[in-house]
């Protein structure tokens, strides 16, 4: 092994056949500081990765292995691109071997274990590790992530809602009515994962547009926990997710009422200043109309502000690729921070248009 290879970060992926898993493979196989070391699948044990994903031919020469066979404990970092509950069941063993963990599911997102158990219908098996974990929204938690051993990568909807609202709530600002914010969010079908389900069949999700989870969605408590912390008190949120007939992409439209004393605020300047140094948050010119295809396969999240008739309604449009900034790209951004690399390493892909 060359010294360059020896110094590279050894990365493992649990759940390599799913949509976020293969997106991690795409990103990590192009990352100059990463050596892909182990990739798991319980169902495809022994299959070459490139047989399932021909876009990775010549880039990834590993085979899928069961989690039991894969050398996860020899990795520097393991990504869990698995259903909820898998990462927490393996966290202790890996941490004892000095392996850092980035979970793309929800095991390390909610700090309140009672809320976790209510929404995920399972007990939290390692509250001690949870207490030391960090919520992996880089733009809000950069210093803590840099020192973290376990990161809970945010959900896709929460990433758009939190980054769209943070500048309005941080630092005790009293700019909007925090008792009633609306998040009207739409996701492409890949947000539901690769597993077979009737609701994501082509003939169900194609040429169709529907709301779901209106009575309650597990991302609501995740968003609320973070919003309450940002605002230093309870924030009232109405959150309605929708499924739209596209494969990738997320579009969140956020509505907030501006407080009477804040009507003179230059919101465009506030957002531009807040995100001026953020490599992956683009504040578009005032009144711009973002399109999801402008972030397809890239780690960019774009925000555009609107204030119809210059009245008291602030409308914040936020777009991202749910599989990149909403999942695997954000996970790689977290890894870069945890290993002291420049945050954009391996993440500079530009979206494909049209
Ligand atoms: N899709 C998205 O846009 C986003 C997804 N997420 C979250 O990321 C995680 C992965 O999502 P996604 O890639 O869409 O899911 P998929 O259903 O597409 O893939 C799940 C993967 O996990 C493996 N797996 C399933 N059960 C287990 C288990 N018990 N132990 C080990 N491996 C298992 C599967 O392979 P096999 O069964 O062969 O082992 C498969 O590779 C989920 O928690 C999801 O909520 C987060 C943000 C966005
Ligand atoms: C379109 C679609 O079905 N999306 C998923 C959210 C994907 C995601 O980020 O969810 P996790 O919290 O599970 O990681 C859903 O609403 O369940």
Q: Count how many Cα atoms sit within 13 Å of the Cα of residue 340 in the half-sphere of its side chain.
A: 2
**Looking at the domain that runs over 157-322, which CATH code has it been given?**
3.30.360.10
Predicted confidence (pLDDT) per residue in 334-349, tens digit = 999 999 999 999 999 9
Place of tokens 């085979």: 63
Cis amide leading into 354 (omega within 30): yes
Residue 126 annotated among the catalytic residues of the structure: no
Give Cα 270 to chain centroid, integer Å. 24
186's enclosing H/E stretch is strand 181-187
Place of tokens 């500079």: 348
Q: How far is the CA of 120 from the centre of ligand 2 (A)?
A: 12
Rounded to whole angstroms, the maximal C-alpha distance in the chain is 65
Ligand 2 pocket member 187 (CB < 6 A): yes
Ligand 1 pocket member 82 (CB < 6 A): yes
Q: Which CATH superfamily is domain 3-154+326-338 in?
A: NAD(P)-binding Rossmann-like Domain (3.40.50.720)
Nearest CA to ligand 2 atom 17: 192
Tell me which of 75, 126, 156, 185 is the catalytic residue: 156
Q: How far is the CA of 69 from the centre of ligand 1 (A)?
A: 19
The answer to whether the CB of 321 falls within 8 A of the CB of 253 is: no
Specify the 3-state DSSP secondary structure of 283. Answer: strand
CA angle 147, 152, 158 (to 5 degrees): 120
Q: What pLDDT, on the 0 to 100 scale, is given for residue 2?
A: 46
Q: How far is the CA of 326 from the centre of ligand 2 (A)?
A: 10
Q: What pLDDT, on the 0 to 100 scale, is given for residue 136?
A: 98
99 by Cβ neighbours in 10 Å (0-12 / 13-18 / 19+) ranks as buried
Mutate to test the pocket of ligand 2, among 156, 183, 222, 226 (most ligand atoms within 8 A of CB): 156
Report the interhelical angle of 113-120 vs 219-231 (nearest 10°): 160
> What is the C-alpha to C-alpha distance for residues 160 and 253, in angstroms, rounded to an integer?
9
Query: Which residues pair with residue 167 across a beta bridge?
Result: none
Q: How far is the CA of 50 from the centre of ligand 2 (A)?
A: 26
Domain extent listing, the chain: 3-154+326-338, 157-322
Q: What pLDDT, on the 0 to 100 scale, is given for residue 6?
A: 56
pLDDT in tens, the chain (354 residues): 445 455 899 999 999 999 999 999 999 999 999 999 999 999 999 999 999 999 999 999 999 999 999 999 999 999 999 999 999 999 999 999 999 999 999 999 999 999 999 999 999 999 999 999 999 999 999 999 999 999 999 999 999 999 999 999 999 999 999 999 999 999 999 999 999 999 999 999 999 999 999 999 999 999 999 999 999 999 999 999 999 999 999 999 999 999 999 999 999 999 999 999 999 999 999 989 999 999 999 999 999 999 999 999 999 999 999 999 999 999 999 999 999 999 999 999 999 988
Q: Which residues contact 283 (CB under 8 A, 6 or more apart)?
A: 268, 271, 272, 275, 302, 303, 304, 305
Note the pTM of the prediction, 2 decimals.
0.97
The answer to whether the CB of 139 falls within 8 A of the CB of 163 is: yes
- Decide if the complex's ipTM is over 0.90: yes
Ligand 2 pocket member 241 (CB < 6 A): yes
Give the strand order in the sheet containing 9-14.
34-39, 9-14, 77-80, 100-103, 150-152, 134-135
Ligand 2 pocket member 221 (CB < 6 A): no
As given in the structure block, the two tokens for residue 4 are: 């360059």
Pairing of strands 250-257, 181-187: antiparallel
Ligand 2 pocket member 301 (CB < 6 A): no
């Amino acid at each position: 092994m060359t010294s360059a290879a020896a110094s590279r970060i050894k990365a493992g992926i649990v759940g390599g056949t799913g949509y976020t898993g293969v997106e991690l493979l795409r990103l990590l196989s192009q990352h100059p500081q990463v050596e892909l070391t182990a990739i798991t699948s319980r169902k495809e044990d022994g299959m070459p990765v490139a047989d399932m994903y021909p876009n990775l031919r010549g880039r990834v020469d590993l085979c899928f292995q069961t989690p039991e066979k894969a050398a996860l404990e020899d990795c520097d970092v393991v990504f869990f691109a698995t259903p909820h509950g898998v990462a927490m069941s393996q966290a202790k063993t890996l941490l004892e071997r000095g392996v850092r963990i980035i979970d793309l599911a929800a095991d390390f997102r909610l700090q309140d274990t009672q809320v976790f158990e209510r929404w995920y219908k399972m007990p939290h098996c390692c509250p001690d590790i949870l207490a030391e974990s960090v919520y992996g929204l880089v733009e809000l938690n950069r210093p803590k992530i840099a020192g973290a051993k376990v990161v809970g990568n945010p959900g896709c909807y929460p990433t758009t809602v939190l980054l769209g609202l943070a500048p309005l709530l941080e630092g005790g600002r009293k700019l909007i009515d925090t008792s009633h914010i609306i998040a009207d969010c739409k996701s492409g079908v890949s947000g539901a994962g690769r597993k077979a389900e009737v609701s994501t069949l082509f003939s169900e999700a194609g040429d169709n547009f529907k709301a779901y989870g209106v009575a309650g969605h597990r991302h609501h408590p995740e968003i609320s926990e973070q919003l309450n912390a940002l605002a230093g008190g309870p924030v009232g949120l109405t959150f309605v997710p929708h499924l739209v007939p596209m494969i990738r992409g997320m579009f969140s439209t956020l509505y907030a009422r501006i407080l009477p004393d804040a009507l003179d605020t230059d919101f465009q300047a506030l957002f531009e200043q807040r995100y001026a140094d953020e490599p992956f948050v683009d504040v578009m010119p005032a009144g711009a109309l973002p399109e999801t295809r402008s972030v397809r396969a890239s780690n960019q999240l774009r925000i555009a502000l609107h204030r119809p008739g210059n009245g008291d309604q602030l409308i914040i449009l936020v777009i991202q690729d749910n599989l990149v900034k909403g999942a695997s790209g954000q996970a790689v951004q977290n890894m870069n921070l945890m290993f002291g690399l420049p945050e954009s390493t391996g993440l500079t892909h530009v979206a494909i248009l049209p």
